[in-house]
């Protein structure tokens, strides 16, 4: 995938069923196979949603994804009897100094030998680059898809959330990986009124210096920069935090704009400074579930009609934050609910009935209490694993 990884060798593992070969992904054709493999592995899973090929291709492109500017990435395919049977990635952030490398994008048939071979290949690559620990899955970073789904396989994933086969957790744990953290996805019924206690809190008078407003496309770049700035301040102390760079912010602006509704992105300004924000996005997965990842020849028309005419019923809140200096006391207690209430109100007008707030670290008790105070249910759990190398 990068100049640093272009010469990664293939490895062969002998088996009575035929040799298993692990090959590094180096060509466009191999990357296409890498992207398409999970759809075959989940062919009998009614809750699987195939991501759009175009989106996945861009996410794995050094030209389009700014992560590649500071991260070495290698992808591998496992092949047996001419058939792709598994895949994995490994990543090293060149700016990290703690000796922790990442694995991700794991998908494989339920075969202990296969999964062991994939992880052995990724671990050897990480060790060769001085990494002392393997952590993941991150696809490809903690700011993208995070964790392995271990609870909640009975419902489809929301936009930009993973969906894994139930057997993978036990297979990974058998290789010596243990839990580093769990993260939760909370689902809320937004047609129900807010609890009385929250309504009472929001009725308390706020200073005149407080202003609740939605995103404006007229100052789109400025508002996206505010989101990035608040995110980097609000989450700086979080476990494994990776800040959004200027390039990340530009990428975020371009990626989100086609699906953004400006009345579903809200800010609270204090003394003219953006103090907090929340982003609510339509759950694209609901609209693409039967497209098999393809927008041609008729996928574009179906997607646009479902988003703009028919409408989807579900949404996801992937980004939310309050600047740390405003995060305590009455102000810190009320700001998240002001933003959430504004997003819920506008989402109901559009026709949404439920929203996922994700992901939330298991020990982020303030955000967990907010979600549970709203009646949200932690309906999916994703696990991040670690192993000393």
Residue 4 pLDDT greater than 70, yes or no: no
* Cα 102 to Cα 136: distance, rounded to the nearest angstrom: 5
Q: Are 371 and 357 in contact (CB under 8 A)?
A: yes
What percentage of the chain carries pLDDT values higher than 90?
78
Tokens of 35: 């992207």
Residue found by looking up tokens 């909640």 in the block: 152
Residue 269 pLDDT greater than 50, yes or no: yes
Residue 91 pLDDT greater than 90, yes or no: yes
Q: Are 168 and 112 in contact (CB under 8 A)?
A: no
Q: How confident is the model at residue 307 (pLDDT cuts 50, 70, 90)?
A: confident
- Following CA atoms 213, 214, 217, 223 in sequence, which dihedral angle do they give, to the nearest 10 degrees? 70
Query: Taking residues 291-301, what's their average pLDDT?
Result: 82
Q: Are 295 and 335 in contact (CB under 8 A)?
A: no
Helices (H), 16-85: 28-41, 53-59
Q: Give the lowest-confidence range in 79-83, 186-190, 250-254.
A: 250-254
Tokens of 382: 């994703």
Query: Taking residues 268-278, what's their average pLDDT?
Result: 94
| Greatest mean pLDDT among 195-209, 306-320, 362-376 | 362-376
Distance of CA 344 to the CA centre of its chain: 21
- What is the predicted pLDDT for the residue at 5? 44
- What is the predicted pLDDT for the residue at 7? 47
Helices (H), the chain: 28-41, 53-59, 112-128, 168-173, 196-203, 220-234, 246-256, 284-288, 299-305, 329-350, 365-373
- Following CA atoms 241, 247, 252, 258 in sequence, which dihedral angle do they give, to the nearest 10 degrees? -170
Residue 14 pLDDT greater than 60, yes or no: no
- What is the predicted pLDDT for the residue at 1? 56
As beta bridge partners, residue 317 has 357
Q: Are 264 and 280 in contact (CB under 8 A)?
A: yes
Query: Taking residues 359-378, what's their average pLDDT?
Result: 93
Q: How confident is the model at residue 209 (pLDDT cuts 50, 70, 90)?
A: confident
User: Strand 273-282 relative to strand 145-146: parallel, antiparallel, unpaired?
Assistant: unpaired
29-79 tens-digit pLDDT: 999 999 999 999 999 999 999 999 999 999 999 999 999 999 999 999 999
What percentage of the chain carries pLDDT values higher than 70?
95
* Cα 145 to Cα 142: distance, rounded to the nearest angstrom: 7
- What is the predicted pLDDT for the residue at 207? 84
- What is the predicted pLDDT for the residue at 333? 87
* Cα 97 to Cα 131: distance, rounded to the nearest angstrom: 10
Burial class (CB in 10 A: 0-12, 13-18, 19+), 263: middle
Q: How confident is the model at residue 315 (pLDDT cuts 50, 70, 90)?
A: very high
- Among the listed residues 285, 364, 350, the one whose alpha carbon sits nearest the alpha carbon of residue 311: 350
Q: Are 75 and 60 in contact (CB under 8 A)?
A: yes
Residue 103 pLDDT greater than 90, yes or no: yes
Q: How confident is the model at residue 15 (pLDDT cuts 50, 70, 90)?
A: low
Q: How confident is the model at residue 331 (pLDDT cuts 50, 70, 90)?
A: confident
| Greatest mean pLDDT among 20-29, 189-198, 333-342 | 20-29
User: How distant, in Å, are the alpha carbons of 74, 91, 300, 361 from that of 2?
Assistant: 7, 11, 31, 31
Which structural domains are found in the chain, ordered by start? 11-181 (3.40.630.30), 191-352 (3.40.630.30)
Residue 210 pLDDT greater than 80, yes or no: yes
- What is the predicted pLDDT for the residue at 9? 65
Tokens of 10: 């293939």
- What is the predicted pLDDT for the residue at 6? 42
Residue 175 pLDDT greater than 80, yes or no: yes
Q: How confident is the model at residue 3 (pLDDT cuts 50, 70, 90)?
A: very low
| Cβ count near 331 (within 10 Å) | 18
Residues 6+ apart with CB under 8 A from 219: none
Query: Taking residues 3-23, what's their average pLDDT?
Result: 66
Residue 162 pLDDT greater than 70, yes or no: yes
């Amino acid at each position: 995938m990068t100049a640093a990884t272009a010469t990664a060798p293939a490895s062969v593992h002998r088996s009575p069923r035929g040799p298993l070969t692990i090959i590094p992904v180096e060509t466009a054709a191999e990357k296409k196979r890498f992207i398409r493999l999970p759809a075959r592995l989940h062919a009998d899973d009614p809750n699987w949603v195939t991501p759009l090929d175009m989106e996945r291709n861009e996410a794995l492109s050094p030209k389009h994804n700014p992560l590649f500017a500071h991260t070495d990435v290698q992808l591998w395919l496992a092949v047996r009897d001419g058939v792709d049977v598994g895949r994995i990635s490994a990543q090293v952030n060149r700016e990290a100094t703690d000796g922790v490398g990442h694995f991700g994008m794991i998908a494989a048939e339920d075969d202990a030998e296969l999964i062991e071979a994939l992880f052995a290949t990724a671990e050897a690559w990480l060790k060769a680059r001085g990494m002392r620990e393997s952590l993941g899955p991150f696809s490809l970073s903690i700011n993208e898809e995070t964790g392995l789904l271990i609870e909640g396989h009975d419902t489809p994933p929301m936009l930009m959330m993973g969906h894994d086969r139930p057997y993978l957790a036990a297979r990974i744990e058998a290789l010596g990986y243990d839990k580093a953290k769990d993260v939760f996805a909370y689902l809320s019924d937004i047609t129900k009124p807010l609890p009385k206690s929250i309504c009472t809190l929001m009725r308390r008078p706020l200073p005149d210096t407080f202003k609740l407003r939605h995103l404006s496309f007229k100052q789109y770049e400025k508002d996206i920069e505010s989101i990035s700035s608040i995110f980097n301040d609000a989450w700086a102390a979080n476990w494994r935090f990776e800040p959004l760079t200027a390039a990340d912010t530009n990428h975020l602006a371009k990626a989100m704009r086609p699906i953004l509704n400006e009345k579903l992105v809200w800010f609270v300004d204090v003394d003219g400074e953006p103090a907090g924000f929340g982003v609510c996005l339509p759950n694209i997965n609901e609209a693409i579930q039967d497209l098999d990842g393809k927008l041609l020849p008729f996928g574009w028309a179906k997607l646009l009609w479902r988003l703009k005419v028919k409408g989807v019923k579900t949404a996801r809140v992937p980004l939310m934050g309050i600047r740390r200096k405003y995060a305590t006391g009455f102000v810190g207690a009320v700001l998240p609910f002001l933003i959430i209430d504004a997003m819920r109100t506008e989402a109901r007008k559009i026709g949404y009935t439920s929203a996922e707030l994700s992901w939330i670290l298991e020990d982020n008790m303030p955000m967990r209490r907010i979600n549970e105070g709203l009646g949200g249910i932690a309906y999916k759990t994703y696990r991040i694993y670690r192993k000393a190398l």
